[in-house]
Amino acid sequence: MKKGEQVTIHDIAKALGIDSSTVSRALNNSTRVSKTTKQKILDKATELGYQRNTLASNLRTNKTNTIGVIVPRISRNFFSSVISGIEETAQKAGYNVIICQSFEDFEKEQKLMETLLSNRVDGVLISISMQTETFDHLMPYLNHGGPIVFYDRPCYIENCSSISVDDYKASFMATEHLIENGCKNIVHFSGPQINPLYKNRKRGYVDALKKHGLNFNENYCLESKLSENDGIVFAKEIIKMGHIDGIYSSNDTAAIAAIQYLKSKGVNIPKDIAVVGFNNDPISSVIEPSLTTINQPDFEMGKTAASLLIQQIQDTSFKKTSKVLDVELIVRQSSQHKKV
């Protein structure tokens, strides 16, 4: 940005022979400026091509009207839908949104928090990375009085709102669905147990087994970061195990990778092994057999998260709340095992 070309309120003031404070008030549509003057100022502003310097304004008013969003990866469908929800709500309330990717990396997440604090965003929405095990990097921001709301991946920090999905129930439903379809030896693809989200999903899986008199085998719970490659690795293990007839995966990515690998090895899905995923990625309806999965209200989660955060920004006495949204089991072909 070339310096010489910046038009400021002082230029407008000088051009009209008035004070810059009046210009400022006019541009903010204050009642303290007469209509005639206001019009003159507005006209001159467009004439000179004035554009408010938000940096200066933000510095003075001590707020940025900006919320920062930390997301593990924007490329995942679930997250990009959440972001759309956030943007919609934020825009309506007059807030800008800065989107940052942590790439599931703790150090990157730390740096992003620093940048957001340094840029004095009014609030932060964060879905913590899978690597994150401590929360010290959030404290400077919280100590400066900045509100944080957790979405998708809950995180129990005092005074922070969070919004998530009923992972336990979803998992229970998914596992029970496999059992009802005749599966007896169900493997679970799980994520890092440090995260309550994956813990809850595991609990749901275990409890569903228990309810139906199937005993839980710790070896059947395969933990990873649920990447495509993890799905393939797990599929290989499953073939080695030999007698597995069901897979409940904590995300679609790993489930789909596993299905493709198993199919390539001549395993019939769902006749030999039934599969249920999690997320309802677009790809899940395209793969053959189409994948039974859990649909989350992603867009709504984004809207709710943004709305909780904005309430906290605007009303510091706002009581912190935790919201849990409901999910839906989408039954497709991959789970039609051997229905009696």
Q: Which residues sit at the interface with its own copies, rule CB under 8 A? A: 1-3, 5-6, 49, 51-56, 58-59, 62-64, 73-75, 77, 80-81, 83-84, 87, 96, 98-101, 114-115, 117-120, 122, 140, 143-146, 256, 260, 282-283, 286-288, 316
**C-beta separation of 246 from 214 below 8 A:** no
Among 44, 47, 60, 304, which residue sits at the site for DNA (rule: CB under 7 A)?
60
Binding site partner of 293, from DNA, its own copies, none, Cβ cut-off 5-8 A by kind: none
Q: Burial of 2 by CB count in 10 Å (0-12 exposed, 13-18 middle, 19+ buried)?
A: exposed
Instruction: Tell the smallest beta-carbon distance from residue 139 to DNA (Å).
Output: 18
User: Rounded to 5 degrees, what are φ and ψ at 292?
Assistant: -70, 135
Rounded CA separation 312/146 (Å): 9
The secondary structure element, H or E, covering residue 148 is strand 148-151
For its own copies, the closer of residues 185 and 311 by Cβ is 311
| Beta-strand relationship, 328-330 and 293-295 | antiparallel
Of 24-32, 144-152, 188-196, 279-287, the segment contacting DNA by CB under 7 A is 24-32
Binding site partner of 22, from DNA, its own copies, none, Cβ cut-off 5-8 A by kind: DNA
Cα dihedral sign for 90, 107, 134, 64? Answer: negative
52 binds DNA (CB under 7 A): yes
57 binds DNA (CB under 7 A): yes
Cα dihedral sign for 12, 17, 21, 25? Answer: negative
Binding site partner of 195, from DNA, its own copies, none, Cβ cut-off 5-8 A by kind: none
Query: Tokens 């409940």 sit at which residue?
Result: 248
Residues 231-270 that bind DNA (CB under 7 A): none
Instruction: Tell the smallest beta-carbon distance from residue 195 to its own copies (Å).
Output: 23
Residues 123-162 that bind DNA (CB under 7 A): none
Overall size of the chain counted in residues = 340
Binding site partner of 260, from DNA, its own copies, none, Cβ cut-off 5-8 A by kind: its own copies
**C-beta separation of 92 from 85 below 8 A:** no
Among 32, 240, 319, 339, which residue sits at the site for DNA (rule: CB under 7 A)?
32
Rounded CA separation 10/121 (Å): 27
Binding site partner of 215, from DNA, its own copies, none, Cβ cut-off 5-8 A by kind: none
Rounded CA separation 156/179 (Å): 33
Rounded CA separation 317/59 (Å): 24
**C-beta separation of 95 from 124 below 8 A:** no
Binding mask of the shown chain, residues 194 to 223, with x at each position contacting DNA by CB under 7 A = ------------------------------
User: Residues in contact with DNA, total (CB under 7 A)?
Assistant: 31
**C-beta separation of 283 from 76 below 8 A:** no
Separation of first and last alpha carbons in the chain: 71
Instruction: Tell the smallest beta-carbon distance from residue 283 to its own copies (Å).
Output: 5
96 binds DNA (CB under 7 A): no
Q: Which two tokens stand for residue 1?
A: 């940005």
Which residues of the shown chain bind DNA in the complex (CB under 7 A)? 3, 6, 8-10, 17-22, 24-25, 27-28, 31-37, 50, 52-53, 56-57, 59-62
